Structure 1
Amino acid sequence: MDMKFDLSRQNLICLVRGQRRFLQANDTCSKVNTYSLIYIYLYLSIYLSIYLSIYLSIYLSIYLSIYLSIYLSIYLSIYLSIYLSIYLSIYIYIYIYIYIYIYIYIIYMLQ
């Protein structure tokens, strides 16, 4: 068996079809070397892992930075506006209530 690394078109066709032997009338894809298929699998897995790791790291960093900046700005503006409006309305209500209560108590005590 020949142990050289063969990325020929026939080997790739046989690899994609998932067979080691693909016979036609003219035997275009003759016996494919098992070691070549193993090397092709290893080459594709290493290439895809490196490519995907680099691509995903760059893509995710750019996408997440843009997405998070837009999302956080919108979310925080809406959240803070609602939260502050509710908080301030409750705070003002309690403050006015206490102020009126003290004012009425002082007026009642002075009579």
Structure 2
Amino acid sequence: MKKSLITSLAAVLLLSATAATAQQKSMGGMQDMPMGKPATGQSVHMARGKVTKVDAGANLVTLAHEPVKSLNWPAMTMGFQVKDKMLLDKLTVGRMVDFEFAQAGKGYAITGVK
């Protein structure tokens, strides 16, 4: 049962990230505005959000975040991968956080938390 729940949660998070990417593409003409440069050379974006779910075993966190100006995203709730497991200590349900994230494959991953 626990494995089924984790699989279902992972599918929901993947669909959330896919929907956000589709929404970004459908808005047309958007370009990333770099907020910094991670080691991978990808753009880093910054946002503020409330942690709504944490799946430490899968390194996934769901955030209800404010608009992300650098991506022209409206406020939404979506799942993010977490690059460094040490960041999970700062990502507890109910906490408001300022976070940095970058594209990771087809989704986005949190690279820093304040």
TM-score range for the pair, normalised by the shorter chain length: under 0.3
TM-score in terms of structure 1 length:
0.23
Greater share of helix? 1
Report which structure shows greater RCO (CA 8 Å, sep ≥6). Answer: 2
TM-score in terms of structure 2 length:
0.22
| Structure number, greater radius of gyration | 1
